Amino acid sequence: MTEIHAAEAPPIVTAPSFGARFGAEAAGTFLLVFGVIGTAIFAAGFSGGDGGLNVGFLGVALALGLSVLAGAYAFGPVSGGHFNPAVTLGLAVAGRFAWKYVAPYIVAQLVGGIVASTILVAIAAGGPNDFLADAQAGGFASTGWGELSPGGFPLLSSLLVEIIATAVLVFVILGVTSSRGAAGFAPIAIGLTLTVLALIAIPISNGSFNPARSIATAIYGGPTALAQVWLSIVAPIVGAIIAGSTFKLIFDGTRKN
Helix 56-79 × helix 186-205 angle, to 10°: 140
pLDDT, residue 97, reads: 93
CA dihedral 29, 31, 32, 37 (to 10 degrees): 120
pLDDT at 249: 84
- What are the boundaries of each domain within the chain? 18-250
How far is 120 from 240, CA to CA, in rounded Å? 28
Tell me how crowded residue 253 is: count the other CB atoms within 10 A of its CB: 7
Q: What is the CA radius of gyration of the chain?
A: 20
- pLDDT, averaged in runs of 10, over the chain (257 residues): 46 73 96 96 76 81 95 93 96 94 96 97 92 92 94 96 97 86 83 96 95 97 96 97 90 54
71-98 pLDDT, tens digit each? 999 999 999 899 999 999 999 999 999 9
- Please give the pLDDT value at position 52: 62
Look over the chain and give the mean of its residue pLDDT values, rounded to a whole number: 89
The domain over range 18-250 is classified in CATH as 1.10.10.10: no
Residue type at position 233: I
Nearest in space to 28 (alpha carbons), one of 170, 136, 187, 140: 187
Q: Tell me the pTM.
A: 0.88
